[in-house]
Structure 1
Amino acid sequence: MAESGNNWERDTLEKLLLATIKEQRKARGWNILFRFMTFGMMFLVFAAAMGWLSGSKDAEGLGGSHTAVVEMFGEIAPGSRASADVVMEGLRNAFKDKNTKGVILRINSPGGSPVQAGQIFDEIRRLRARHPAIPIYTVVDDICASGGYYAAAATDKIYVDKASLIGSIGVLMNGFGFTGAMEKLGVERRLLTAGKNKGFLDPFSPMNAEQQTFAKEMLTQIHQQFIDVVRQGRGKRLKDDENTFSGLIWNGEQGIKMGLADGFGSVDSVARDVIKVEKTVDFTPKENWADRFAKNIGTSVADHLPLSQSGLQLR
Structure 2
Amino acid sequence: MRRLINRLLPKSWRSDAVTIPVIRLQGAIMAGGSQFRPGLSLATTAGLIEKAFAFEAPAVAIAINSPGGSPVQSRLIYKRIRDLATEKNKRVLVFVEDVAASGGYMIALAGDEIIADPSSIVGSIGVVSASFGFPELLKKIGVERRVHTAGQNKSVLDPFRPEKKEDVERLKALQLEVHETFIDMVKERRGPKLKDDPDLFTGLFWTGKRGLDLGLVDTLGDMRGVLKQCYGAKTRLKLISQPRGLFSRFGLFGSKAEPADIAAAAAGGLADAAEQRALWSRYGL
The answer, yes or no, to whether TM exceeds 0.5 is yes
Aligned match of 1:255: 211
- TM-score, with structure 1 as normaliser: 0.72
Cα gap change, 1:253 to 1:304, in 2 (>3 Å): closer
Aligned match of 1:101: 58
Aligned match of 2:194: 238
Note the alpha carbon deviations across 1:196-251, whole angstroms, 9 max, x for none.
11112100011122221111100100011111111111111111111111111100
Cα gap change, 1:255 to 1:295, in 2 (>3 Å): farther
**Alpha-carbon offset, residue 65 of structure 1:** 3.2
Q: d(CA) in 1 for partners of 2:243 and 2:196?
A: 41
Bigger Rg, which one: 1
For 1:292, what is the secondary structure of its paired residue?
helix
- 1:152 maps to 2:105: no
Cα gap change, 1:258 to 1:304, in 2 (>3 Å): closer
- Unmatched segments (≥5 aa) in structure 2: 6-14
Amino acid at match of 1:67: I
Q: d(CA) in 2 for partners of 1:280 and 1:228?
A: 33
Q: How does 1:58-137 map to 2 (within 5 A)?
A: 65-77=18-30, 78-79=32-33, 80=38, 82-98=40-56, 100-132=57-89, 134-137=90-93
Residues 171 and 223 in structure 1, CA contact (< 8 A), matched pair in contact too = yes
Aligned match of 1:280: 237
Aligned match of 1:204: 160
Q: d(CA) in 2 for partners of 1:119 and 1:191?
A: 34
**Alpha-carbon offset, residue 131 of structure 1:** 2.0
- TM-score, with structure 2 as normaliser: 0.79
Amino acid at match of 2:189: G
Cα gap change, 1:299 to 1:143, in 2 (>3 Å): farther
Q: How does 1:43-58 map to 2 (within 5 A)?
A: none
Cα gap change, 1:206 to 1:294, in 2 (>3 Å): same
2:264 to 271, 289, 301: 301
Q: d(CA) in 2 for partners of 1:114 and 1:149?
A: 11
Amino acid at match of 1:153: L
Cα gap change, 1:295 to 1:210, in 2 (>3 Å): farther
Aligned match of 1:179: 135
Cα gap change, 1:203 to 1:234, in 2 (>3 Å): same
Amino acid at match of 1:113: S
Q: d(CA) in 2 for partners of 1:122 and 1:198?
A: 32
Aligned match of 1:53: none
Q: d(CA) in 2 for partners of 1:275 and 1:299?
A: 47
Q: d(CA) in 1 for partners of 2:151 and 2:140?
A: 29
For 2:61, what is the secondary structure of its paired residue?
strand
Note the alpha carbon deviations across 1:247-296, whole angstroms, 9 max, x for none.
11100100000000011111211221124362000113342333223179
Q: d(CA) in 2 for partners of 1:207 and 1:179?
A: 9
Q: Percent identity?
A: 35
Q: d(CA) in 1 for partners of 2:97 and 2:219?
A: 13
Residues 100 and 123 in structure 2, CA contact (< 8 A), matched pair in contact too = yes
Amino acid at match of 1:88: A
Note the alpha carbon deviations across 1:9-59, whole angstroms, 9 max, x for none.
xxxxxxxxxxxxxxxxxxxxxxxxxxxxxxxxxxxxxxxxxxxxxxxxxxx
Aligned match of 1:162: 118
Amino acid at match of 1:302: A
**Alpha-carbon offset, residue 191 of structure 1:** 2.0
Aligned match of 1:41: none
Residues 87 and 284 in structure 1, CA contact (< 8 A), matched pair in contact too = no
Residues 86 and 285 in structure 1, CA contact (< 8 A), matched pair in contact too = no
Aligned length: 249
Residues 72 and 81 in structure 1, CA contact (< 8 A), matched pair in contact too = no
Residues 136 and 160 in structure 2, CA contact (< 8 A), matched pair in contact too = no
